[in-house]
């Protein structure tokens, strides 16, 4: 299924949840910043126990894995060109490995002792396009664009 994104003419397949709803819940929705470098919440939080698996929300390639400040981050570049990142998350995959939709790509791993969760045992899930951060909920098909009626 294809959807048009944000009036930018981008096309993307609707993504699938990266964690089973039976074992996770959503906490803290996406909140776009008012300015490019302003405060906001550039993703959604998945409440997952440490060790819980994370699946690829779309097919693509492992783009990045590694430590960012005080937590491990895993990012895939989807076949549609989006970046989907998870933190704290660890993987045994290597950068450049192809991933299939729904394939286990990572697990919620324990961050360093200096890391402070902003929710209880959660994994931050973000999505980026060439235009910046967008809500993963939109790519998951959970949000629809606003329509003005006159």
pLDDT at position 24: 52
Q: What is the pLDDT of residues 22-36, one digit of tens each?
A: 445 666 666 677 777
Bigger pLDDT: 94 vs 148: 94
Domain 2-33+40-139: top CATH class: mainly beta
> In the numeric block, which tokens belong to residue 145?
């664009």
Integer angstrom CA distances of residue 146 from 1, 128, 143: 20, 20, 9
Residue 116: pLDDT band with limits 50, 70, 90: confident
Rounded to a whole number of angstroms, the distance between the first and last alpha carbons of the chain is 29
Bigger pLDDT: 139 vs 3: 139
pLDDT at position 41: 62
> Per-domain residue ranges for the chain?
2-33+40-139
């Amino acid at each position: 299924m294809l959807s048009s994104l944000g009036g930018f003419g981008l096309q993307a397949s609707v993504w699938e949840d990266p964690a089973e709803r039976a074992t996770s819940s959503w906490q803290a929705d996406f909140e776009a910043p008012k300015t490019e470098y302003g405060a906001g919440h550039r993703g959604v939080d998945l409440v997952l126990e440490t060790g819980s698996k994370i699946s690829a929300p779309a097919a693509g390639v492992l783009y990045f894995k590694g430590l960012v400040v005080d937590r491990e981050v895993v990012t895939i570049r989807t076949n549609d060109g989006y970046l989907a990142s998870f933190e704290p998350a660890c993987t045994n995959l290597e950068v450049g490995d192809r991933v299939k939709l729904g394939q286990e790509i990572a697990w919620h791993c324990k961050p360093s002792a200096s890391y402070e969760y902003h929710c209880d045992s959660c994994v931050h899930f973000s999505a980026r396009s060439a235009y910046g951060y967008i809500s993963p909920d939109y790519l998951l098909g959970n949000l629809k664009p606003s329509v003005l009626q006159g």
